[in-house]
Amino acid sequence: MISQIPYGSADVPDSRGYFGEFGGRFVPETLVPALDELTVAYREAMADPAFQNSLLDLQRTYTGRPTPITFAARLTEKLGGARIYLKREDLAHTGAHKINNALGQALLAQRMGKQRVVAETGAGQHGVASATASALLGLDCHVYMGSVDMARQQPNVFRMKLLGAEVIPVESGTKTLKDAINEAIRDWVTNVRETFYLLGSALGPHPYPMIVRDFQSVIGIEARQQMLDDVGRLPDVCIACVGGGSNAIGLFHAFREDEQVDLIGVEAGGHGVLSGEHAARFADPSMGRPGVLQGTRSYVLQNADGQIMNTHSVSAGLDYASVGPEHAYLRQTERAFYTLATDEEALEAFQTLCKLEGIIPALESSHAVAEVIKRAPTMPKDSIMLVNLSGRGDKDLGTVMKELKLEI
C-alpha cells in the first residue's frame, strides 16, 4: 500500500541539518567526511527505485508490513470517551518499530560497501533489530549496550547473540543508552572507513535525525491511510512515547500538515519531575534546556554547569538525557505537544492493556497508553485517538514482575 518512502518532501531539516534552531552537526572532525558521505549516499539511494523497491519488498515480505490498526473496544468502553485505535508496531518482526529503520540503514550500509556495522541500544530493541537486519544481509554487527540496561533487558541480550551480533557491555558513566551512544561513536571514529554506524533513534548529527525519521515515517503513512480506509476519517489525536523519539516522529510525520490532528508526545516521568529522577527533557525547566549532546542541538537534561544529568525511567528505551531535535522543533512551533507519564502510571497502563485488550505492550509504549487513559475520558465519544503501540512487552516481563513484586 506504500508506493514510495518520502524523501525531500519535508521543509525540515535544512541543508545543514537544522530543524529551526535545533539539530546540526557537532562532531569531531574525523567524522565529518563520513557524515558527508552518508548524506550523499542516502540521497542517491532514495532517488534509486531499486533501493526503494528492495526496502519496500523487505517491509512487506520480512517485517510483515503493513502492521494493522486495532480498535481497542474494551479500553474505549472502560474509559468512556474517545474511540481508541492502536497502531500495532508490536506486530512487526522483532516486536517493535525499530526494524523499520534498521532495515533501511542496513540496506544503505550494504549499498555503501560497509561490511561492519556498529549500533547502540538502550532497551535492546534497536540492538535486536540491527542484529536481525545484519543477519539478513550478511553484515558484521557490533552492539554497544550499557551494563545496567543489559541486566534489565536480558532476553534481548540473548536474542542479539543468537542473531550473531557481538554485544559489548558499556561500563562508563551511567551505563545506559547515553553511554552506549558515546562508545558506539568512539568505535565509529576509530573504524570509520569500513564501518557504518546504524543509529537507532531520531538523534545524533545530521543526517541521522532525517534518515531515521524517513525510515520510520512508514508508521504514520500506513496509519493515516488505514484510518481513512477503515474508519473514514483522520484521528483527532495521535499519541506516542518519546525517548529519542523515533516511533513518535514516524507516526507524526504523515500528519504534520493535518492541522486538525493534535500530536502528543509522552516523555518518561520516572519517579516524577519533582524527584529529579526522570527523563522528561521538556517538562523540567530546572534541568531541561537547549544544549548540545552527541552531535545535535536539542533539549538536554543538564545541571547549571552544562554537565549531563543522570536520568531514570522504568523503561530503558526512554531513559535518555536528550530528545530528537525535530521534537524540540515541533514543540517550539507548537505543532506537537509533550507531556509525561510516571513509572507508576506506565506500569498501570501496561496491566490495563494486558487485561482489557490481550496485548502486552512494551514499557515504553505503556507511557503512551498512560496518556490515553488520562485523556480519553475527557474527550467526546465520537472523537478518535490513535496511539502508537511501538513495541511488545515480552522483554519487560522481568522488570514488571520485579516492580509489581509478582511471583509466578
Partner 1 sequence: MTDTRTTTGLDAIAAMFDRAKAEGRSAFLPYVPVGYPDYESSLDAVEALAALDVDGFEIGMPFSDPLADGPTIQEATQIALENGTTIRSCLEAVRALRSKGLQQPMLMMGYLNPMLAYGTEAFVHDVKAAGADGLIIPDLPPEEAHLFAESCAREGLALIFFLAPTSNEERIKLVAERASGFIYVVSVTGVTGARRDLPPDLVDYINRLRAHTDVPLVMGFGISTPDHARQVNKLLDGFIVASALIRASKQGIDPMRELAASIRQAIEPGG
Between CA 206 and CA 289 the distance in angstroms is: 20
Pick one of 61, 259, 307, 406: the residue that binds partner 1 (CB under 8 A). 307
120 is an active site residue: yes
The single residue among 2, 135, 189, 231 that binds partner 1, judged by CB under 8 A, is: 189
Residue 402 exposure: Cα atoms within 13 Å on the Cβ side: 10
CB of 116 to partner 1, least distance (A): 13
Q: How far is the CB of 204 from partner 1 (least distance, A)?
A: 11
Closest CA to 27 of 296, 276, 354, 406: 296
Query: How many other CB atoms sit within 10 Å of the CB of residue 323?
Result: 33
Considering only 19, 22, 24, 326, the residue that binds partner 1 (CB under 8 A) is 24
Give the three-state DSSP class for 194: coil
Q: Which residue has the cell 552518508?
A: 38
Catalytic site includes residue 178: no
**How far is Cα of residue 215 from the mean position of the Cα atoms in its chain?**
11
- Contact letters for partner 1, residues 193-222 (x by CB under 8 A): x-----------------------------
| H/E run at residue 379 | none
Range 321-360, binding partner 1 (CB under 8 A): none
**The 22-23 sheet, strands edge to edge:** 18-19, 22-23, 296-301, 288-293
Give yes or no for a contact between 371 and 379, defined as CB atoms under 8 angstroms apart: no
- Selected binder of partner 1 within 136, 192, 231, 356 (CB under 8 A): 192
Among 34, 82, 199, 314, binds partner 1 (CB under 8 A): 34
Closest CA to 265 of 240, 297, 245: 240
Q: Pairing between strand 166-170 and 116-121?
A: unpaired
Residues 233-292 that bind partner 1 (CB under 8 A): 289-292
Task: Single out the catalytic residue among 98, 175, 178, 395.
Answer: 98
CA 42/CA 22 separation, integer angstroms: 21
293's grid cell = 549532546
Smaller CB distance to partner 1: residue 200 or 361? 200
Give me the least distance between CB of 94 and partner 1, in Å please. Answer: 28
Q: Under the criterion CB under 8 A, does residue 182 sit at the interface with partner 1?
A: yes
**Minimal distance, residue 189 CB to partner 1, in Å:** 6
Q: Which region, judged by CB under 8 A, interacts with partner 1, from 27-35, 59-67, 94-102, 148-156?
A: 27-35
147 binds partner 1 per the rule CB under 8 A: no
Query: Could you say whether residue 305 binds partner 1 (CB under 8 A)?
Result: yes
Give the Cα separation of 40 and 207 in Å (integer). Answer: 10
Q: Does residue 32 touch partner 1 according to CB under 8 A?
A: yes
Phi, psi of 229 (to 5 degrees): -70, -45
With binding defined as CB under 8 A, does residue 377 bind partner 1? no
Does 27 bind partner 1 (CB under 8 A)? Our answer is yes
* Residue 43, number of CB atoms within 10 A of its CB: 13
To the query of whether residue 246 is one of the catalytic residues in this protein, the response is: no
- d(CA 309, CA 289) in angstroms, rounded, equals 11
- The nearer residue to partner 1, 139 or 301, going by C-beta atoms, is 301
Nearest approach in angstroms of CB 28 to partner 1 is: 5
Residues annotated as catalytic are: 98, 120, 390
Residues lying near partner 1 in the complex (CB under 8 A) are found at 16, 24-34, 172-173, 178, 182, 185-186, 189-193, 289-295, 300, 302, 304-308
